[in-house]
Amino acid sequence: MIKNRIVFNDATDWTFDLEKAEGSYLWTKDDKKLIDFTCAWNVTNLGWNNSEINQAISGQLSKNVHNILWSSDEIQIAYAKALTEALPKSLDTISRATGGTEANEEALKTARAFTGRKKIIGFKNTYHGQSFGVMAIGYRPEYVEAIAPLVPEFIQMDFPRLQKDKTPEEVLKNFAEELEMLLSQKDIAAIVTEAGIITGWGSTYVAPKGYLKLVRELTEKYGTLLILDEVGTGFSRLGKLFGMELENVVPDIVTFAKASCNGAGTIGTMVTRKEIIETTLGKTNLTSTFGWNPLSCAAALKTLEIHKRDRVWEKAEKDGQYLIRTLETKLVNNPKVNDIRGIGMEIGLELVDGDAAKTLVNQAFANGLHLVIGDGGNIQIMPPLVIDRKLLDEGINIIVKLLSL
Ligand SMILES: Cc1ncc(COP(=O)(O)O)c(C=O)c1O
């Protein structure tokens, strides 16, 4: 679609003009007020136009707004320190980027350069960004025929998601066998995964508990790097500051973007071990002219500070459980609902098909609730983590009322 001379992704067949946004509300140009259950897809976790974050940007505006590739601004140094201190000790070195695509692309290149291996494992129907390399991780070849070939030597596995007709143990066991068969060839540079849930593609598929630990153990055993894409899961979304904490797993490389600066800038980050960067410098290229722009870093530093100060993940975990429980209770036996699942405040409400999801999203919009369709019939619910309970209830009630028509 093209509107106002702007191109929208082909997957989008509706759009609206945004007038302003604040906290958990959006206002359209034609003065419609909406409760937001999307966070612009996991970005504005601390609420839209968070005043503390905006003030941090104002402060930085009077100091410096651009960095030089061969220099580092004071605010970048401060953010590098704060971010690495919030992570497990071994993740001590950052590379600057502008968003998730770029950070993930850096991770793929670093993994190949470090291991000397070419193959990379990803999962079918996952989204890690829009460049050739990251699309090769999870896009089905039939979806990208027009731009093929992507990058060779990528292997796509089925994501080991919880299913009604299988026990979690069965799912995990089958996956472990398949993964070990691939890794034991000792020619896989890296496996790329999110932290036990697919957020990027919008399926909200959840893996059994133990998934991350299993991947970590097997990758370590066969010299394969574990790249954890925390672009969607990071910054309290899953009820932990970072998704890796769900199973206390330490990846070799982790990437962040989206909620890092709460939408108050553009930022992407690859974090890894010093040793990995020292071995690969000069063998790859991590140059990013606008990576870690000082204004975005000021926003990111304040964002991280607020998450830690307010322990935002604790509220996210509680609200997420409440959201799932309430939807399950109120929609039990509803014939339009296939499944309700999720982790923290990343909730999938899967309807019977895409048409049912489209109808709900359109009706919700007309009734003052902003929802977004993920994969197929799945609506991926991602409210601001600071939303108050009354507003959360209002949004839930709109969904329940519309699905009961
Ligand atoms: C899990 C995940 N990884 C990576 C990306 C790409 O990030 P960006 O749009 O900042 O390039 C996205 C974007 O939706 C995502 O959801």
Q: Are residues 44 and 186 in the same domain?
A: no
Residue 385 has pLDDT above 70, yes or no: yes
Residues with CB under 6 Å of ligand 1 are: 41, 99-101, 104, 127-129, 194, 199-200, 229, 231-232, 257
Whichever domain contains 8, its CATH number is: 3.90.1150.10
Are 196 and 207 in contact by the 8 Å Cβ rule? The answer is: yes
Same domain flag for 364 and 388 = yes
pLDDT grade for 15, boundaries at 50, 70 and 90: confident
How many distinct structural domains can be found in the chain?
2
- For residue 231, how far is its CA from the centre of ligand 1 (angstroms)? 6
Domain that holds residue 289: 52-310
Q: Is the pLDDT of residue 378 over 90?
A: yes
pLDDT, tens digit, 9 for 90 and up, residues 176-199: 999 999 999 999 999 999 999 999
> Are 259 and 350 in a shared domain?
no
Task: Judge if 28 and 177 occupy the same domain.
Answer: no
- The reply to whether 72 and 203 lie within a common domain is yes
- 322 and 336 co-located in one domain: yes
**Separation of CA 170 and ligand 1 centre (Å):** 30
- Cβ contacts of 40 within 8 Å, gap of 6 or more: 263
Instruction: Clarify whether residues 293 and 344 are in a common domain.
Output: no
Q: Residue 97 belongs to a domain with what CATH number? A: 3.40.640.10
Residues 390 and 258 in one domain: no
- Which residue, by CA, sits nearest to atom 3 of ligand 1? 128
Domain boundary among 260, 295, 310: 310
Q: Which of 256, 285, 310 is the last residue of a domain?
A: 310
Question: What pLDDT score was predicted for residue 12?
Answer: 64
Regarding whether 344 and 292 lie in a shared domain, the answer is: no
The maximal CA–CA distance of the chain, rounded, in angstroms, is 61
Whether the model clears a pTM of 0.75, i.e. scores above it, the answer is yes
Find the distance separating the first CA and the last CA of the chain, reported in whole Å.
31
* End-of-domain residue from the set 290, 310, 330: 310
Which residue's alpha carbon is nearest to atom 8 within ligand 1?
A: 100
Q: Same domain, yes or no, for 260 and 235?
A: yes
pLDDT computed for residue 170 by the predictor? 98
Same domain (yes/no): 302, 348: no
Q: Is 91 helix (H, G, I), strand (E, B) or coil?
A: coil
Note the pLDDT tens digit of each residue in 68-114: 999 999 999 999 999 999 999 999 999 999 999 999 999 999 999 99
| Cβ atoms 27, 368 nearer than 8 A | no
pLDDT at 337: 98
The rounded Å distance from CA 401 to ligand 1 centre is 32
